[in-house]
Structure 1
Amino acid sequence: MAVNLTEPGPLLPVGGIRLGTAAAGVRAPDRDDLLLLACDAGTSVAALFTRNAFCAAPVTLCRQRLAERTAVHGLLINAGNANAGTGAAGLDAARQCAAAAETQLEGMVLPFSTGVIGEALPVARISSAVPRAAGNLRADGWLAAARAIMTTDTVPKGCSRQLEIGGRTVTITGIAKGAGMICPDMATMLAFVATDAAVSRSTLQRALAEAAADSFNAITVDGDTSTNDSLVLMATGASGAPALAPDSDDYARFLAALQAVCGTLAQAVVRDGEGATRFITVRVEQARDRDEARRVAYTLAHSPLFKTAAFAGDANWGRILAAVGRAPVDALDLSRVTIAIDDVPLVAAGEPHPDYSEAAGSAVFARAEFTVRIQLGRGRTAAEVYTCDFSYDYVRINAEYRS
């Protein structure tokens, strides 16, 4: 069950974007599993993709098409089949599905897939469902879209924010899917965000990278980077607001709103982690640099021993200590290290804190959300990573994934 996560509130339409869903029967016959997103002419598109060497066919095709800098008219997303590990046939299948959507939108379409790896994409079923999705295109289709791209997710994930630029209201709305095979090496999972701000492609790509750094690149459920991870940001310019100039005050405010949307979506993925019962923030402070702080944070966030203790509500803080001690940090001076869980101190100056009690530690580990705070005493840089526990259900869900 998702940790303190419910269906999103109203998802605001974005001028120049329409969304339509349909049931293609990719894995289940009784649910929408295909999403067609249409964007107006002149829309800028930026994207980040997985760094997994066995990237899925649609990732390869999207990279190629975006490198050509051809105008993008829409996106086509299917759930239930990843079209990864499918070789040349998978690339051809991605092209065929995109072509079916291009017939409807009369322009280039980027394809995306999520689901089981190593199975052939059912091109005929998807292509035949595309016209139905096109017939359902509507500006307020965001929540239906979020549901259509779900796989093992239990809750659709979406978020909207608005701000004023040049006296015009600018909207940012995004959706995401993901609950397992979540570990950053780009973004993680699938996420699609749109705005009616006017932003050049280069500026949009910069904003996306900056927004992803502390959101989609700061989460982990299980340490597995997917073959299909994709994060897309579209800017239609339909608000009529002046174009954003890099390093301007308007850009800074836009970036803050975009970061809020991406942060909400990314944390929702962790809250809905497969079998998750705890949402855990790992904050590392006083590091020499950001990379060092993140290395320590991820060492703990990826530890199965820590994550299973968190599931049990067992305040076995020795697992935190061990993870910090084995993190790839040169010449760590233990006499400078301080560790706490929420307001309960565990370690001070490398020694067990005299005020710690098992009752206090257990009370924190029993919470649905808590923070592990680690101070290295080596510098002034901090970083946060968001993770969840490992439960019996995580094993069950993944053991039965193809059933």
Structure 2
Amino acid sequence: MRIFEQVESQVRGYVRSFPAIFDRAEGALLFDEHGNRYIDFFAGAGTLNYGHNHPLITEAMIEYLKGNSIIHGLDMATSAKRDFLQTFVNTILEPRNMEYKVQFTGPTGTNAVETAIKLARMVKQRSNILTFTNGYHGLTMGSLSVTGNSFYRDESYGVRANTDFMPFDGYLGEGVNTIDYIRKVLSDASSGIDLPAAVIVETIQGEGGINVASAEWLQELEKLCRDFDILLIIDDIQMGNGRTGSFFSFEESGIRPDMITLSKSLGGGLPMSILLMRPELDQWQPGEHTGTFRGNNLAFVAATQALKMWEDDSLTKQVLQYGEVVKAAMEDIVAEHPDLNLSIRGRGMAWGLDFGAPDLASKISAIAFEKGLIIETAGADSSILKFLAPLVIDPDLLNEGLEIIKESVREFTKQNNTVYIQEAS
């Protein structure tokens, strides 16, 4: 690991949590240079919903490369882009009666967020954006301005220009409808909150701690946006692409966002992000918003293969079935350790085990890594153990990984029976 310590920036993060030099990967498994095997409950922070090196995706990319096909094409027309767009329309949009224009924004999710914010301000001719407590939308300047966690920003370099933070669903406790609060401040000319161009929200806050917005809350948020002529942007970068069961995380609520940001698993493991917008919002002049790597043709090839997995509802059913397995395992852990005051939350294949105290989840993650499981943490104080396994994980591997989590919590409580139980209480 010496070369990484000597040459790579101090900003490196995951290499500190998972100190191994990884060499190979397949499905939900990673292998280091020494052949040690790790079950992956991390999935590239939600980038590998279809697993590592899915054979259909890999084969398609190899054939594309062997044909000397276009890799970099800016926004020129290519066969790979045409095939992706047609597959996306046929497989995702038309079956859901959705009509959106597609904008290719650059290689990462924050590019899509920046584009959505810029477009909303341009269309509405208003600069304010509403965002939410514990929200995470990326770390470029515009995205940073709507990201809540103070660890990622500072007023000296990440000024929250023309943004206001509102309480997410459940932030003020059970029984408090935070939409009522938002409606009040928008209705009051003395609230100090300017009428926003848009609201940006995650239906499940991944980095924020697996905070789940109810369908009813999302429906009320949509109505609020319609009542005040505000655009509704759903950030589906981490929770889209089937993570909750349906392709889009908001489908069960029945809402119709004005814009949707997609990235991470969309490219089948390769960098790719898009912005979906209602056709009437597509008011750009040609070349007005651009980017060198908005035409990743190899990612188009991978994405086209990944989208074919949504031609029927078999993957949705599998995600929901696996989700129940994960939920049951998490409930077992909560019941087994009442002194830790644990709680769980999540949906589909996105779950969080809340230890209620700083750094405890990181200690469990470290123990799990020693036992051959990779799982990250989330939340403002890293108190959440965050489950994001590939959607296509083998059921035996899923159960093996869940058992490692159980064993890791048991080992932790034995090692720290007095001190950390008191902290968690």
Between Structure 1 and Structure 2, which shows a larger proportion of helix residues?
2
Decide which structure has greater strand share.
1
What interval of TM-score do these two structures reach, taking the shorter chain for normalisation?
under 0.3
Q: Which has the higher contact order (CA 8 A, sep 6+)?
A: 2
Q: Report the TM-score when normalising by structure 1.
A: 0.25
Normalization by structure 2: what TM-score? 0.24
